[in-house]
Copies of this chain bind each other. A is one copy, B any other.
Amino acid sequence: MKLHWSPRSPFVRKVMVAAHELGLADRIQTTRTLVGAAIVAPQLLPDNPLNKIPTLVLEDGTVLYDSYVIIEYLDSLAGGRLIPREGPARFTELRRHALGNGFLDMLIQYRMERERTPPSQPMMDAFAKKFDSTLTAIDQEIEAINADPPGIAQISLAIAGDYLDFRFADLGWRERAPRYSAWQERFRQRPSMVATPVVDG
C-alpha cells in the first residue's frame, strides 16, 4: 500500500500510529507529498482531487481517504481493534474521535489565521473561545476515555497533544488541562507514538 505522507501532518500521523498499533506499518510504503492551503501537489490529484493527505492507494489501485476512512480500513484488516464494530461503544468512540479530529482541524485553522498579516480579530477571538471550550471538555472526559482500550479516539487526542506542543507551546495547554496532559504524557510513550515523531522538515 502506498501512502501520500508528510512528517508534519497530524492527520497522516493518525494513520501511521494506527498502522503501528495494528502491526501493519511494514505494509505501508510512504511517499512524501507536500500540500498546503496554497500548495497543490500535481502528483496527488489523480489519487485525491481534493489535494489532501493522508491518501492511501491499495495494491489493486483502490484509493482511500480521509484519515478516518483509511484507519477504518486498516482496522478491518486487523480484525477491528481501534473502532468498536457496533452499538453504543461504536458511537461513543466515533464521537470522541470527532472531538480529537475536530480539535486538530481547529488548531490548523487557528495557526493559519494567526500567521496572517493581519489576522481577523473576530476570528481570533472565536478561536480562543473554542480552544478553551474544547481543551476543557477533553480534560473533563479524558479519564472516561482512558477507561476504554486504546482506539482511534485516544490516538487522535494524543496526537493533538503533541501538535499543541509543536505549534502552540505559548498557550500553556498542559497547565490548563492537567488531566489531559498527564494522560497524554503516558500515551505518547507507546511505541506507535515514538515511531512516528513530528518533525519540521
Chain A residues with CB under 8 Å of chain B are 36-40, 45, 49-52, 62-66, 68-69, 72-73, 76, 86, 88, 91-92, 94-95, 98-99, 102-103, 106, 109, 116, 120, 122-123, 125-126, 129-130, 133-134, 136-137
Contact = CB atoms under 8 A, between A and B. Distances in A.
Given A40-B129, A49-B130, A51-B126, 19 more contacts: A37-B120, A37-B126, A38-B123, A40-B130, A49-B99, A49-B136, A50-B99, A50-B103, A50-B130, A50-B133, A51-B129, A51-B130, A62-B91, A64-B91, A64-B95, A65-B95, A65-B98, A65-B102, A69-B98
A38 B126 contact: yes
B133 A102 contact: no
A162 B13 CA distance: 34
What is the interface of chain A mostly: helix, strand, loop, or mixed? helix
B38 A120 contact: yes
A95 B126 contact: no
Contacts of A88: 62
B98 A66 contact: yes
A133 B51 contact: yes
A183 to B, nearest CB: 17
B123 A37 contact: yes
A134 B65 CA distance: 14
20 contacts: A37-B109, A37-B123, A38-B122, A38-B123, A38-B125, A38-B126, A39-B126, A49-B134, A49-B137, A50-B102, A50-B130, A50-B134, A52-B102, A62-B92, A64-B94, A65-B95, A65-B102, A69-B95, A69-B98, A72-B94
